[in-house]
Chain A
């Protein structure tokens, strides 16, 4: 059978009209993400008390080991180790507040060589706290108590870093959340309602194959989803988002994410008989991801086991890819892992949808 473009277009236009005129759908898809962005942006939840500390151990001695274990005992530090170049690069990208270098031949005694702490201008507050904590910790390690020598044991230098604020973390997360909700809630609820009220049955009383309606619904949701992403990006920029990467790539990744969550939405809508059945399942799928996929808060603070399990969630892949494009300017080639993960989820979700879907 030839594909009837005119028929598809009519259904597509009707589908867009219905979405735009549905105040509830508009609220959840556009207004709610905006409110989340404003609330989280204003409250600035991201600025916790943890200080990301990169340690460059050039000494590799007993002294440096002692110092490191002392630093690891301080809860406020989130410590990573690496070469100076690596750690400074991370700091410049906004991922470290302080980089501490332990020079070769360092000895843990008063009057010896100074440690070098390079602090990020972008995370001034955390950097300041970090430098303070470092001085305290090193003094303590030297004397067994705070205070002591005249020269502070740590020399502090500022390094210019990209001024990544919480908004830069938040916006990609909100984009991911919006795409998830578009599929899980927009489709699941809207479609189940059409099913329950008999609207779908009425469509099947016409000679148009149901696939046309389904196709038009998917196409309209994808287009509307991309428009939403663009609007939210613009609002994000107004709030101070630094958009480093390509907008086209963000849209491409958003599209792949939308395919995953639309398929999940249709799986739920196809299985459920009414909204009361769809709601708990949609929430069961979305809520864990809302908290575990790095939507509002960094996944760095998670226990390792949880972090590694949740790294396979579809929203984690989506958020991570969006964030790397927006914050680090990642290109298509840098996103291999995320794209692969998302493609796998898209296939799984599609197969589940096909298996569970029923029109009645």
Chain B
């Protein structure tokens, strides 16, 4: 693959105006018996955008993602990725996207390099595994197995595996859940670099500051529906406009800032 290196973080580019949509979702529905897990979800994602889906557990975030990815049958509605209809050709959709699942494991008996080669073959590509590992700063772990990796390293590897087909759209389902603050910030850097490189990213998260940091736009889901969709700043402005004020005065720093100040940004993965 001839890709620009991701090793050096580029300065954050100013947010470009939204381009043409690469993902279109219209009135998506999923029922499990009497439960309607996804109840008429519609949105568009522009090319090059980092799009966040927020919501409490059980809001339907993962089900929505999995339907768009072609991993779960769509009951009603339509989803189009890169001009491919997901319902008509889920296999072609999978060819064009990269998926990091919320709970995905890899074979314990193969090392990282072998795993990336194997995943490349699943797309019928021959990948440069070492270059991909360098992209996610795991080149020194090429001969290790996944079970020996730390939480942050596992998530980074999982992203590398989602990049083997150089996808146009990358789906990340709760990529930073369970990580310590350093590992989380490290992953944020990686996601920003992916955005710089032109990948469209759709991610779900429970962390609001993460959505604020990373996402161009966010959709907030509850009970299977999208209850708000805009840029993080516009959503905040709208709330304030409705007269909302925090009980306590805005502090200049929070405990996480203290933690990062004391322990540094450096990853502690060798421990």
Identify the interface centre among B71, B104, B123: most chain A CB within 10 Å of its CB: B104
Contact string against B for A residues 155-180, beta-carbon threshold 8 Å, 1 for contact and 0 otherwise: 00000000000000000000000000
Contact of A18 among B103, B104, B110 (CB under 8 A): B110
Interface size of A by CB at 8 A reads 24
Q: Is B121 an interface residue (CB 8 A)?
A: yes
The chain A residue sitting closest to B117, CB to CB, is A10
Q: Which residues of A contact B109 (CB under 8 A)?
A: 17-19, 21-22
Q: Which residues of A contact B99 (CB under 8 A)?
A: 202, 205
Q: Is A112 an interface residue (CB 8 A)?
A: no
The chain B residue sitting closest to A25, CB to CB, is B109
Contact string against B for A residues 175-206, beta-carbon threshold 8 Å, 1 for contact and 0 otherwise: 00000000000000000001001110111111
Please give the residue numbers on chain A whose beta carbons come within 8 Å of chain B beta carbons, in ascending order: 4, 6-7, 10-11, 14, 17-19, 21-22, 194, 197-199, 201-209
Question: In whole Å, how far is A124's beta carbon from the nearest beta carbon of chain B?
Answer: 50
Q: Could you list some 11 contacts between A and B, CB below 8 A? A: A197-B103, A198-B105, A199-B107, A201-B101, A202-B99, A202-B105, A204-B71, A205-B69, A205-B99, A206-B119, A207-B122
Decide: B101 and A206 in contact? CB cutoff 8 A. Answer: no
Q: Which residues of A contact B161 (CB under 8 A)?
A: 202
Please provide the chain B residues from 89 to 138 with a CB less than 8 Å away from any CB of chain A in the complex: 91-92, 94-95, 99, 101, 103-110, 114, 117-119, 121-124
Question: In whole Å, how far is A9's beta carbon from the nearest beta carbon of chain B?
Answer: 9
Given the interface pairs A14-B114, A17-B110, A17-B114, the reply to whether A206 lies near B104 with Cβ below 8 Å is: no
Known contacts A199-B107, A205-B101, A206-B94, then 17 further A-B pairs from the complex at CB < 8 Å, ordered by chain A residue: A7-B122, A11-B121, A14-B110, A19-B109, A194-B107, A197-B105, A198-B101, A198-B103, A198-B105, A199-B104, A201-B104, A202-B99, A202-B104, A205-B94, A205-B104, A207-B92, A208-B123
Q: Which residues of B contact A14 (CB under 8 A)?
A: 107, 110, 114, 118
Q: Which residues of B contact A22 (CB under 8 A)?
A: 108-109
